[in-house]
Amino acid sequence: MTMAPVEPVEGEFTFLKQNMRSEQSKSHQVPPQCIITNVYQLGIPTKTDGVLGNLPCSEAGSPSLLDIILLSQWEDHAWKGQLRFDVTACQKKVVTGGRKFIAQLNENWKPSILMDLEKQTIQSLRPTKLSDVKHQRENVLVCVSFGERECPELVSSTMLPKDGILIIANAHPIEYGHAFLVPYDVHQMPWLLDKKVLGLMMQITAEVANCSFRVFFDYDASISLDQKCFQASYFADPLPVELLPTIPVYGNLLTSGVYISEVADYALKTLIFVSKNLKALVEVVGEMCSYLHDNGTAFSLLISDCGTKVFMFPQVRAILGYQLSTLECGGYFVYDTKSDFDHINEADILKLLASVSLDVPNFETLKQQCCVAASKLVL
Amino acid sequence: MLALTIPAIGRPVDDTLLPLPSPAEAMASCQRRLIEESLTARYTDWVAEALDDIQSCFLITDPGIAGHPIVFASRGFLAMSGYSMQEVLGRNGRIFQGPATNRQSVMEIREAIREERTLQVSLLNYRKDGTPHWILFHICPVFGADDGRVAHFVAVQVPIQRRSRCSRSSAEAMLGGTRGRLIGGCREEVRSDDLGCNPTVELFVDVDNRGLEAEESREASKQERELALDAANSILSTLTHYSKLTGRVVSGKRCIEAGFSAINSSLVMPLGRIKESFILTDPHLPNMPIVYASDEFLNLTGYSRHEILGQDCGFLNGPDTDVEVLDQVRQSIQAEHACTVRLLNYRKDRSSFWNLLHISPVRNASGKIAFYVSVQMEENAKNSSGLCLSAGMRQLGVVGAVKVAVRSLCISAGPSKPSS
């Protein structure tokens, strides 16, 4: 009888973790060769009229490299107990009513946690403090950087690339795979609403190529941008807003490259930008972000459908001074007490959404701006 | 088990019936016999005649024979497709697909077959002369009442009549460009793996694409859908009737006693994407039976799906499997923890392999454990995924993808109920 030795499977991530631990115990000046990070190098988009080139752009085939990396790294973190709780043990339900809003009970979750974590995470990534990133490295799932090849690839690097996007597990997740996407540059603090950053976020969503994967971003005019970052998570179900009918606002995919529509009959006025052309989509959405920023309007962005669709939720300051998160705008609400979770009803949610919505004249103006931005687009 | 003198079904058939070019003559003749006897063994010799009385276009296939071959084609089908009986028996239904056949629809059909359920889908098929034509494809499984396994699939095909372009929705028109790209993508794939040797199809690519620009897809009318359903029902009742004569009774519904509750259909698509060896087991049923197995699991172990669904995982173990490791697995499951072990497992042919096994509980939208996922990695096996990732990473990637899919509200939670 052969005795099978009992041993866990050793993956790269185990190795990575060990290195991180050893790194932590050392002084500030760590020899770079001791640090090993998974670096995902993006492929160079091929020149096909700016269309997403060789990006998957749909989830027709088997899971993509980046999809597997994110899922496996997050699962590894969860398994090793590096997250505060098992988010898959949180109950979810569909709120009674026609809108099919989603409610989640997450007793470990506090609304302010997110903001505090964002602050910590981002501030540690300021150029001057990049060396302090190390205490965050524990939670780095992967660093997305620019590659030199046509196809994306995963390399284990001893050094962080000089610029890129750190994908950091959120230890207080809202759903499976919840992570922060933090753009950094050793030379300068990246401007988050920069079209380059926006383009990278869309490219990441496209390369993950999983319809469950969504990237989101909350912009609050009153908080300085260097405390904000993009987030991403996997949601098996579409957010309720994604299922609603739409009304065309501008263009169509055949002639104009970008199709803009508004969500019909939703308490929170919402715009949708759709394109297979990443460059065009970034151009128009980026333009609109700048416009809202210049006007001091808060907004949230939701990137879905493998990077081909962006929802924009402009918000006015509600009486309570409360801004909704992207997920809330999309109809997904997290409650930290059982009684709130049990007693939530559609009418209250609709009231909440309506309280931050732009009024009709302002939304009309915004739509006109969209048309202007889209018509300026040179394909 | 079967009398060898039973004649082939359908019309009189001679020995040259099946063009099987394989050098392995013995295998070929064995395969041929299986195809010939597929219907007669279960439904008697007279079933062919009865099936011929049904006017519709349809095929009957046997998923139990390698390659899932066609074992019967109706007169109507042969007339519509231009093929002769000899040319289709023993072949797989994919021979009717062509360059512009929508890959998505083909995937849907594969999923339906894999999950053994009924499906109606519009499909662009090709006749023998290479001309494309739109059909409503209606496939349904025929279950054996004795064991709950699928005995055959019935595939009814109803031609879809052309309707004016006005009926197309504006949304469809808008997405026309997208569809065009998709078809462009399929063409190469279909050509290389299924039709590389068929020069007639190549010739028609340009011709039918011109037609397709005006018509990217055809939706079947309500009437056509009903026609397909009626045909399927009359074929089913014919098969059921004749099966009673042999005592090997079939039915359109899986018997609950014989089968087991398979997984929710909304899980099928996301799970089908995962190209690794894994199974789901249901901890709420006695002995934690397997409720889902990936194709890669079947490839790895050599079993077919109907042999293992509903079984517990014990069949993977053998004389040299370490009992202590099994015990460790059992304890982890009891404690609702994930675990990774190295275990000696056995294939159907009793050859053994070192299995780097990871088992993890998977929770549904209610936060309750719905399944355990077991991901098998054969030690030192060639990485078939084409991605340069470690086995451990691929393994946990499967666990993550399964966990995401099972969290869907479509699976467990209905409309909100105030929890007790």
Smallest CA-to-CA distance from B155 within B175, B171, B133, B135 is with: B135
Per-residue pLDDT of B300-316, as tens digits, reads 999 988 889 888 999 99
Nearest to B408 among A177, A236, A342 (CB): A236
Q: Which strands form B352-363's sheet, in the order they lie side by side? A: B290-293, B278-281, B369-378, B352-363, B339-346
Helix (H, G, I), strand (E, B) or coil at B407: coil
Nearest to B408 among A4, A90, A237 (CB): A237
Per-residue pLDDT of A50-67, as tens digits, reads 444 445 445 567 899 999
Per-residue pLDDT of B225-266, as tens digits, reads 999 999 999 999 999 888 888 888 888 876 543 334 467 767
Per-residue pLDDT of A237-268, as tens digits, reads 999 999 999 999 998 877 778 999 999 999 99
Question: A107 at the B interface (CB within 8 A)?
Answer: no
pLDDT at B209 over 50: no
pLDDT at A154 over 50: yes
Q: What percent of chain A has pLDDT over 90?
A: 49
Chain B environment of A96 (Cβ under 8 Å)? 415-416
Q: What average pLDDT does the structure give for chain B?
A: 78
Nearest to B410 among A2, A9, A237 (CB): A237
Place of tokens 């060898």: B4
> In angstroms, what separates the C-alpha of A61 from chain B's closest C-alpha?
7
Chain A environment of B342 (Cβ under 8 Å)? 4-7, 9
Is beta strand A102-105 parallel, antiparallel or unpaired with respect to A91-94?
A: antiparallel
Residue A217: its pLDDT value, please?
A: 92
On the question of a common fold for B24-161+216-251 and B265-412, the answer reads yes
Q: Which of A109-123, B304-318, B335-349 has the lowest mean pLDDT?
A: A109-123
- Write down the architecture of domain B265-412 according to CATH: 2-Layer Sandwich (3.30)
> In angstroms, what separates the C-alpha of B414 from chain A's closest C-alpha?
7
- Positive or negative, the CA dihedral A362, A368, A372, A377 is positive
Q: Do B275 and A90 touch (CB under 8 A)?
A: no
Per-domain boundaries in chain A: 20-375
Nearest to B419 among A13, A76, A342 (CB): A342
Residue B413: its pLDDT value, please?
A: 38
Chain A environment of B270 (Cβ under 8 Å)? 212, 236
Q: Do A4 and B394 touch (CB under 8 A)?
A: no
Question: A92 at the B interface (CB within 8 A)?
Answer: yes
> In angstroms, what separates the C-alpha of A102 from chain B's closest C-alpha?
9
pLDDT at B140 over 80: yes
Task: Tell me which DSSP letter residue B410 carries.
Answer: T
Task: Tell me which DSSP letter residue A272 carries.
Answer: E
Q: Do B363 and A88 touch (CB under 8 A)?
A: yes
> In angstroms, what separates the C-alpha of A71 from chain B's closest C-alpha?
5
Residue B180: its pLDDT value, please?
A: 35
Chain A environment of B404 (Cβ under 8 Å)? 71, 176-177, 212, 234, 236
How would you label A87-118 residue by residue, b for 16+ Cβ within 10 Å and e otherwise? bbebbbbbbeeebbbbbbbbeebeeeebbebb
Nearest to B176 among A5, A60, A254 (CB): A254
Q: What average pLDDT does the structure give for chain A?
A: 80
**Euclidean distance between CA atoms A358 and A343, whole angstroms:** 27
Tell me the average pLDDT across A168-193.
Answer: 84
Q: How crowded is residue A322: how many other Cβ atoms within 10 Å of its Cβ?
A: 13
Task: Tell me which DSSP letter residue B143 carries.
Answer: E
CATH of A20-375, one of 3.30.70.240, 3.30.428.70, 3.40.50.720, 1.10.1060.10: 3.30.428.70
> In angstroms, what separates the C-alpha of A280 from chain B's closest C-alpha?
16
pLDDT at B193 over 90: no
When scoring B294, B328, B396, B412 by the number of chain A Cβ atoms within 10 A, the one with the most, hence best to mutate, is B396
When scoring B416, B419, B420 by the number of chain A Cβ atoms within 10 A, the one with the most, hence best to mutate, is B416
Chain A environment of B360 (Cβ under 8 Å)? 75, 79
Confidence grade of residue A345 (pLDDT, cut at 50, 70, 90): very high
Confidence grade of residue B372 (pLDDT, cut at 50, 70, 90): very high
Q: Do B416 and A96 touch (CB under 8 A)?
A: yes
Task: Tell me which DSSP letter residue A44 carries.
Answer: P
Residue B11: its pLDDT value, please?
A: 41
Nearest to A253 among B175, B328, B377 (CB): B175
- Positive or negative, the CA dihedral B136, B139, B140, B142 is positive
Which residues does B387 contact at the CB level (< 8 Å), separation at least 6?
A: A65, A68, B394
Whether the complex's predicted ipTM is more than 0.95 is answered with: no
Per-domain boundaries in chain B: 24-161+216-251, 265-412
CA-CA distances (angstroms) from residue A134 to A131, A137, A247? Answer: 6, 5, 48
Nearest to B367 among A89, A236, A237 (CB): A89
The tokens for B316 are: 């993977």
Tell me yes or no: is domain B24-161+216-251 CATH 3.50.50.60: no
